[in-house]
Amino acid sequence: MSTILVTHRDDLASKTGMWLFLFTEMLLFGGLFIVYSVYRYRNPIAFHQAAQELSVFIGTINTIILLISSTTIAMSITALQKKNKKLALLLLGTTIILGLAFLVNKYFEWGEHFKEHIYPGSAVLALRGHGDVLFYGLYFFMTGLHALHIIVGLVFIIVIAVSIIRNNINSDSYVLLENSGLYWHLVDLIWIFLFPLFYLIT
């Protein structure tokens, strides 16, 4: 006769696991910040001038979009804790829409650059000089990797929202919602640093 494995739910373990995962993401982007630091140091003027070609307006809007989306997902946890399932889902839905809005903005931003033949490996970019190549290389790589993480985050949130609809995540068991919030906040944090480093160093 075998013993029955009683699985005790350990929310703290789940949360700890998520935080540890966030640390890996910080180090992943951290590697790119290392590259940024070095090349900014070596090409201060080129970075300074190339940054002026980015739209501070769109960048600011995008920053605020992400800040609001962080607020809404944080509030959705409060809503669920207060057993307000409808509000929680509404807030999550808002978060998703804001995330999509961010991506749409990015799409248009990048589109503008592509129209001018500015993209990694382009001849036009190469002609502009080393500093520009590195600035835009970092710009596309870092904002691209960031956008990928937004997409992953959105998928994660959608999955959580479905779980909430099915009552698998509820006011007694909501660590997965918290974890999706943590992930989303990290995505916001990365952007909080990307924004000044690319848009505001003029």
41-60 residues near another protein, rule: CB under 8 A: 41-43, 56, 60
Where in 9-28 is the site for another protein (CB under 8 A)?
Answer: 10-13, 16-17, 19-21, 23-28
Q: Does 3 bind another protein (CB under 8 A)?
A: yes
- Which CB, 103 or 129, lies closer to another protein? 129
Least Å from the CB of residue 74 to another protein: 5
**Binding of another protein at residue 30 (CB under 8 A)?**
yes
39 Cβ contact partners less than 8 Å away, ≥ 6 residues apart: 47, 131, 134, 135, 138
Distances (CA, A) of 137 to 39, 57, 90, 103, 150: 11, 21, 38, 19, 20
Please give the structure tokens belonging to residue 53: 């070609």
Residue with tokens 């991506």: 103
Nearer to another protein, 117 or 130 (CB): 130
The CB-of-66 to another protein minimum distance in angstroms stands at 10
Q: Which residues contact 146 (CB under 8 A, 6 or more apart)?
A: 29, 187, 190, 191, 194
Structure tokens of 55?
A: 């739209």
**Can you tell me which of 49, 55, 74, 147 binds another protein, judged by CB under 8 A?**
74
21: left (phi over 0), alpha (psi -120 to 50) or beta: alpha
Site string for another protein, 122-151 (x = CB under 8 A): ----x--xxx-xx--xx-xx---x------
Which residues in the 84-113 window bind another protein by CB under 8 A?
none
Q: Does 193 bind another protein (CB under 8 A)?
A: yes
* Least CB distance to another protein at residue 161 (A): 18
Region binding another protein by CB under 8 A among candidate stretches 75-83, 93-101, 109-117, 158-166? 75-83
Indicate the residue among 70 and 161 with the shorter CB distance to another protein: 70
d(CA 136, CA 120): 7
> Which amino acid makes up residue 72?
T
Binding range to another protein, per CB under 8 A, among 63-71, 92-100, 109-117, 158-166 = 63-71
Pick from 153, 137, 110: nearest CA to 35: 137
